[in-house]
Homo-oligomer: A and B are copies of this chain.
Amino acid sequence: MIDTRFYELIEGGLSVSDLCARLDLAAPEGSLAETRIFEPAPLVTSQAGSLAFLESRKHSPTLETAKASACFVTDALADAVAERNIVPLICKAPKYQLARATDILVKAAKRPAEIAQDSHIHPSTIIGPGVVIGSNVSIGPNSVITNAIIGDDTHIGACTVIGGTGFGVVTGPDGAIMSVPHVGRVLIGRNVRIGSNTCIDRGQLGDTVIGDDCQIDNLVQIAHNCVLERGCALAGRVGISGSCHIGEGVLMGGSAGLADHITVGPGARLAAFAGVMHDVPAGETWSGIPAMPIRDHMRIVAKAKRDIRK
């Protein structure tokens, strides 16, 4: 759901025929063309009024929970969409068309921020429209907070950027690229500590979430749609790519990095400089690039050192 604290939707929505006309796509025939859509959504959590996309057979299972009113889809997958009573909008580059439609459907809103009176925003920090800041929060100087909701007792350093647009491009049918619009939020829990010169991007569709009691050091990058459960600790220069899920109490050493869509189980530990390409099971300690269980990594290093002494 698009949060109307931060974004404005078109009053009354848009018919798919109007939308297709604006995107220069063929509209569906008959009364289907009058279907009204209101907001973009991921297919898996889509509701009545949602507009989604389906591009790859691999993601067809997300149709099971989908309730979208319309869906950009490739020709090959159109029947599967129609069977779910979702209007298929057939095109060559569904993800690209949803990005274009998002730019049409969603505009930034300009509502006042809400900042608890006992919280302290230091000089030259910019708080964007609609931001909500809880009680006993401090935000250091020269930071930038947009599209975010911040819980009580949370402390954020200086020159830190929360809620910026995520990084990502989509390619159109003619090879044109466009930046993916980001119309989600950053949700930060209670008693979180975030350092300086750190970046936490907002979600694309949906949210980037930092759980209660997380501790995040300086110069850390957390990309769009990541979820950190409660009590994680991230040392300096850590980088987490988009859509990762980090379980409760995970510890990450300095400069450790994750590829996108990685799951790290609760209580796992990632050593400094770990470069994680695969999911990490709960409670395990991984290190190395590419990361692996630390015992394997240490054995590989020890053997390599022995071998050059032979």
Residues of A within 8 A of B (CB): 122-124, 126, 140-144, 155, 157-161, 164-165, 167, 169, 177, 179, 193, 195-199, 201, 213, 215, 217-219, 221, 223, 231, 233, 235-237, 239, 241, 254-255, 257, 259, 272-273, 275, 277, 288-290, 292, 296, 299-301, 303-305, 307-308
Q: How many copies does the complex hold?
A: 3
CB of A124 within 8 A of CB of B122, answer no
Q: Establish whether residues A275 and B272, one from each chain, have CB atoms under 8 Å apart when the complex forms.
A: yes
- CB pair B199–A199 under 8 Å, yes or no, is no
In the complex the two chains form, what is the Cα distance from A17 to B307 in whole Å? 61
The contact of A164 among B140, B292, B301, by CB within 8 Å, is: B140
Contact yes or no, B300 A305, CB < 8 A? yes
- Given the interface pairs A144-B142, A275-B273, A300-B308, the reply to whether A221 lies near B221 with Cβ below 8 Å is no
Q: Write 25 A-B pairs (CB below 8 A) sorted by A numbering.
A: A126-B142, A140-B161, A142-B143, A142-B159, A144-B158, A144-B196, A157-B164, A159-B159, A159-B160, A159-B161, A164-B196, A167-B195, A167-B215, A197-B197, A201-B218, A218-B221, A237-B257, A241-B272, A254-B257, A255-B275, A273-B275, A296-B308, A299-B308, A300-B307, A303-B307
Return chain B residues, CB-CB under 8 Å to A213: 177
Q: A239 contacts which of B123, B255, B300 (Cβ < 8 Å)?
A: B255
Residues of B within 8 A of A199 (CB): 195-197, 218-219, 236
Chain B residues with Cβ under 8 A from A239's Cβ? 219, 236-237, 254-255
A105 to B207, CA, bound (A): 40
Q: Which residues of B contact A142 (CB under 8 A)?
A: 124, 126, 142-144, 159
